[in-house]
Structure 1
Amino acid sequence: MKSKIEENQDGTMRVLSNRHVQMIAIGGTIGTGLFLGSGSTISKTGPSVMLVYLILGFFFFFMMRAIGEMFYSDPSQHTFVSFISRYLGPVVGHFTGWTYWIGLVFVCMAELTATATYVQYWFPHIPSWIVELVFLGILASVNLIAARLFGEAEFWFAMIKIVAIVAMIITGIFMMTSHSVTPLGHASLINIFHNYTLFPHGVFNFISAFPMVFFAFQGIEFVSITIGEAKSPRVVIKKAVNETLIRILLFYIGALIVIMGIIPWTSLTANSSPFVQVFKLAGFPAAAATINFVVLTSSASSLNSCIFSAGRHFYQLATEVPENSWMYKTFAKISRNGVPAAAIIFSATLVLITPLMSLTTAISSVFTIVTGVSSDMYIIVYTLTMVAHRKYRASSDFLPDGFIMPWYKVTSPLTILFFGIIFISLFFIPEDVIGAVGAIVWTLIFGGLEFFRQRKITSTNINQ
């Protein structure tokens, strides 16, 4: 006998099971940064890259514990931004909501562009805009039909990534324990520590790896956005968040150990995927095509999650404006399928701008800059989330016997300080300076406009 589906007050359905949420959490933790970008970070820092992943992994774990604690106190919320509105006020909340949503739209656009690139590996003659329209149409439809279908799609997307990583780790362990001979030498753990230095290419390259790995982890918070539509949300959030660090250690650190055990780190370059190199050295001729399929599903997974998240965030924004406004009347609605259909359609429609980027290099250049700005804005959003958590701790909503963030008095200020240091480090990396400056300009201009808008609304209400 099927259990009755629980319906939230706003009409959304709690249909995501524990297995959906756990796999969405894994999908959010593992991105194309591991499959394609790890070669770049290893070439910059050598074996010290594991220390970079470990440090960032710990701080992201603490951020997720902060988010998890707030959701545990009120699992009816659809986005963590709603807690920023509640504890830091409508000005900061609305600014963060719009900033995060715009960032999501650009992430969607970037992932859609990537899917076309990966498909053209096999079908180079198909125009990229056709591939983009097909993928966007399919995944937007998946999100419109039901949250459960989204969860099912993410489950299988994440499964493909896990199988690829586990297969590489098992292959690597076999090669290292059997001391397999490759054109680059013997596969062995000794390769990791051979000629080891903490800063093989200087302190600057080591520091510049931190923002690169930070952006590889970006999206790890997506799992929290599923809580509003998950069965047994308090049980699910504790499990999903607590296993974040384990997943990072297992999939990232485990994969890096295997990669550097088989390929001497001095032989790795930023131009090719370490996964492809490992499988080729293991005698797997279809390595490049297989990893291309994996990163294609990874991009499709990210696009699927982005559409889901963007729809919920725009719906949240619509619920926070006056009820007589066109935005509230149009987008603060839940369809009969239990999803914010209008908000999803609007967000997906904006992503249709992506095919235009192939028409001129000027648009592509602007897109690259804007994507950089929106990525850097995530650091500000994450920091505001941590500040909101501190306000939550001081509020009457605080549950002393809830899902408590460990060592709060130390880990909370340290996490905020660390995010601040990451943002400051962007100014010392030439390719990140424009994005960092753009993020500050966006904050000052849009934040200022939002402040005056809210002040005008307040004064109008007082006069009435």
Structure 2
Amino acid sequence: MKSKIVENQDGTMRALSNRHVQMIAIGGTIGTGLFLGAGSTISKTGPSVMLVYLVLGLFFFFMMRAIGEMFYSDPSQHTFVSFISRYLGPTAGHFTGWTYWIGLIFVCMAELTATATYVQYWFPNVPSWLVELLFLGILAGVNLIAARLFGEAEFWFAMIKIVAIIAMIVTGIFMMSSHAVTPLGHATLTNVFHHFTLFPHGIFNFVAAFPMVFFAFQGIEFVSITIGEAKSPHMIIKKAVNETLIRILLFYIGALIVIMGIIPWTSLSADSSPFVQVFKLAGFPAAAALINFVVLTSAASALNSCIFSAGRHFYQLATEVPETSWMHKHFAKISKNGVPAAAIIFSAALVLVTPLMSLTTAITSVFTIVTGVSSDMYIIVYTLAMVAHRKYRASQDFLPDGFVMPWYRVTSPLTILFFGVIFISLFFVPEDVIGAVGAIIWTVVFGGLEYFRQRKMVPADMN
């Protein structure tokens, strides 16, 4: 018997089931970075890359527990940014909301560009703009029809990634247990720690791996944005968040062990997907085409989630401005389908700028810089979420018997400190310096303007 879909007070529907949300959580944890970028990270750091993934995975788990605790206390919210507004004030809330939404638009643009690149692997003569329009149109349509359809699409997108990873892990275990002979030697678990040193290419490359892996995990918080439209939010929050660390250990650490067990890390190519290299050594000639299909679905999944999230965040921003404003009148409303349709259409329309980027290299260069800035801004957004959680703990909303963050007194300040260290590490990686400086400028300028705007509003509200 199907459970009845409950309508929220604002008109949205609690249509996402447990299986939808759990797969969205898995999809958010596993990005294209694992399929394509892991080879580069391993070649720089060797087996110690597992330590990098483990440390970052642990702190992302603590962040998710903090966000999950706030959602558990009030699962009616559509985005964790609403808690920043509530506990840190409207200035911090508006700054974070706009920053996060703009960042999402650029992530959407990047993923849309990626889909065209992957499709052109098979159809090199099809123009990029046509592929981009097609994918954007289909996925925006999926988001406009119903939240449940979005959840169904994410379920199958995530399933493809999971099958690919499990297939590689199973293949690797079989090859290592049978000591299969490859052109690079024997496949064995001892390959993982053969010639092991903590900093094989210097401590700089080890430190530089942290921001690389951080950005691979970016988007892990997407699952929290589904809570406001989930059928059984309290149960789903606990399950989705608690399994974050298990997923990282299984899908990332497990995959890395298999990759380095089959291909000695000193022989791994940094320029091609380690998944392709493993499957080719296993005698699967169509490996490149298979992994290209997987990363295409991964990019489409990320784009689908971005459209969903961007629509909810812009809707949230529209609800927080005065009711007489143009933005509130047009975007603070829910369609008959139970989705913030106007906010989704507006967000998707901005992503239409993507096809224009192929016109000149100058536009592409600017896009690369802005994407770097917006990615670095996520570190600041995550930090503000952690600070909001500390304020929540000191408020009357705190539920001591709720879904509390483990070892809060130690893990909360350590997570905030760690995010600060990650941001500082950007200045030691030449390609990340511009983005880090841009993030600081954005925070000072936009944050300052937002502060003075809110100060002007206070006297008017008090009269």
* TM-score tier after normalising by the smaller chain length: over 0.9
Are residue 96 (structure 1) and residue 93 (structure 2) matched? no
SS in 2 for 1:265: coil
Q: What are the superposed Cα offsets for residues 324-367 of structure 1, whole Å, 9 maximum, x if unpaired?
A: 00000000000000000000000000000000000000000000
- 1:426 maps to which residue? 426
- 2:82 maps to which residue? 82
In structure 2, distance between residues paired with 1:77 and 1:269: 45
Are residue 349 (structure 1) and residue 352 (structure 2) matched? no
- 1:278 maps to which residue? 278
- 1:203 maps to which residue? 203
Q: What are the superposed Cα offsets for residues 33-61 of structure 1, whole Å, 9 maximum, x if unpaired?
A: 00001001001100000000000000000
In structure 2, distance between residues paired with 1:251 and 1:2: 32
- 2:221 maps to which residue? 221
In structure 2, distance between residues paired with 1:2 and 1:209: 46
How far has the Cα of 1:127 moved from its partner? 0.3
- Which residue identity is paired with 1:324? T
- 1:116 maps to which residue? 116
Trace 1:403-422 onto structure 2 (pairs within 5 A).
Answer: 403-422=403-422
SS in 2 for 1:240: helix
In structure 1, distance between residues paired with 2:268 and 2:282: 16
How far has the Cα of 1:3 moved from its partner? 2.7
- Which residue identity is paired with 1:76? S
- 1:456 maps to which residue? 456
In structure 2, distance between residues paired with 1:40 and 1:14: 41
Are residue 139 (structure 1) and residue 139 (structure 2) matched? yes
In structure 2, distance between residues paired with 1:4 and 1:297: 31
Q: TM-score, normalised by structure 1?
A: 0.99
Trace 1:38-437 onto structure 2 (pairs within 5 A).
Answer: 38-437=38-437
- Which residue identity is paired with 2:18? N
Deviates more, 1:144-153 or 1:449-458: 449-458
In structure 1, distance between residues paired with 2:429 and 2:38: 18
- 2:439 maps to which residue? 439
How far has the Cα of 1:86 moved from its partner? 0.2
Sequence identity of aligned pairs in percent? 88
SS in 2 for 1:201: coil
- 1:15 maps to which residue? 15
SS in 2 for 1:267: coil
How far has the Cα of 1:374 moved from its partner? 0.1
In structure 2, distance between residues paired with 1:430 and 1:251: 30
- Which residue identity is paired with 1:216? A
How far has the Cα of 1:315 moved from its partner? 0.2
How far has the Cα of 1:63 moved from its partner? 0.2
In structure 2, distance between residues paired with 1:40 and 1:307: 29
How far has the Cα of 1:461 moved from its partner? 2.2
SS in 2 for 1:411: helix
- Which residue identity is paired with 1:253? I
Q: What are the superposed Cα offsets for residues 123-148 of structure 1, whole Å, 9 maximum, x if unpaired?
A: 00000000000000000000000000
- Which residue identity is paired with 1:249? L
CA RMSD of superposed structures (Å) = 0.5
In structure 2, distance between residues paired with 1:359 and 1:217: 31
How far has the Cα of 1:456 moved from its partner? 1.0
Gapped runs of 5+ residues in structure 2? none
Q: TM-score, normalised by structure 2?
A: 1.00
Deviates more, 1:286-295 or 1:269-278: 269-278
Q: What are the superposed Cα offsets for residues 210-263 of structure 1, whole Å, 9 maximum, x if unpaired?
A: 000000000000000000000110000000000000000000000000000000
Give the number of aligned pairs: 463
In structure 1, distance between residues paired with 2:308 and 2:443: 25
Gapped runs of 5+ residues in structure 1? none
In structure 1, distance between residues paired with 2:139 and 2:42: 33
